[in-house]
Structure 1
Amino acid sequence: MLKISCLCGQVRVKIPKLPSFINECNCTLCSKSGARWAYFNPSEVGIEGTTKGYSRADKEDPAAEIQFCANCGSTTHFILTASAISKFGNSQMGVNMRLADEKDLAGIELRYPDGRAWPGTGGFGYVQEARIIGRAASE
């Protein structure tokens, strides 16, 4: 089990397993919130503490609402909006792996999707090649 928290420790997140990969998306929401997302079923994640939410105002129908600590402002996770849940079900949430110690994530693939260029459907392009956390770039 991986236990992580926001900067002040008031929001704590427990996940039962390490993710198979982590995304560091370059879209405006992800880059400005400082997030590296790992994805889980909401039933697998335990959240303790008070968070506030924010959904993008520049999207007509945003799919995600980021959650952040009401005290220190650290981005902790995202949940799907009601609109996205009605379309896709409540099957995914993201946890911000920047809150984890990188040594705890060694061996996990870090991907760099090009969210800024993504048209909203289909697969992502990538802005750079994936790397394995904990390995030097030359390995």
Structure 2
Amino acid sequence: AVRFEISRPAWVISCNCSICRRYATLWAHCPPNEGRLLAGAGATTAYVWGDRLIEFHFCTTCGVTTHYQGTDGGRVSFNLRLADDPAQVEDIRVRHFDGAGSWAFLD
């Protein structure tokens, strides 16, 4: 199983682009040195698409989307829908991002 550790974010992102919509993710962004993936080598596999700027990672056991990171080593985002206890994250503000059109926040 893939697990991760991050600080509690002030808000998370629900994106409506074609890939995020299909993956049904809820992204928590963090600088690369703040989030930690708690999994051994080979626990995830990556998929790079489109302009090849974002690398999506999936659990090699169950296939769930775990996180994404920029191919340039920038920001990392973890899928908070994987929280061990959903009650711990249900009160975090959700910001809606229009990745399918304007490429801007809708709120």
TM-score by length of 1: 0.68
* Post-superposition CA distance 1:9-68 (Å, at most 9, x none): x111111x1011100101011111221101011111221131001122xx2x23211101
Given the alignment, which residue of 61, 71, 77 partners 1:94?
77
Please name the residue that 2:92 is paired with. Answer: 108
Please name the residue that 1:68 is paired with. Answer: 58
Structure 2 CA distance, aligned partners of 1:111 and 1:38? 10
Q: Following TM superposition, where does structure 1 have runs of at least 4 consecutive aligned residues deviating by more than 4 angstroms? A: none
Tell me: higher relative CO, structure 1 or 2? Use CA pairs within 8 A at least 6 residues apart: 2
Q: Which has the higher helix share?
A: 1
Question: Between the two proteins, what is the percent identity of the paired residues?
Answer: 33
For structure 2, the 5+ residue unaligned runs are: none
Please name the residue that 1:14 is paired with. Answer: 5
Structure 2 CA distance, aligned partners of 1:106 and 1:98? 10
C-alpha contact 2:44 2:58 (8 A) present in aligned 1:
yes
1:1-139 superposed matches below 5 A: 10-15=1-6, 17-47=7-37, 48-49=39-40, 50-56=43-49, 59=50, 61-81=51-71, 85=72, 90-100=73-83, 101-118=85-102, 124-126=104-106, 129=107
C-alpha contact 2:45 2:59 (8 A) present in aligned 1:
yes
What is the number of residues matched between the two proteins? 103
Q: Which has the higher strand share?
A: 2
Shift of 1:111: 1.1
Largest Rg, 1 or 2: 1
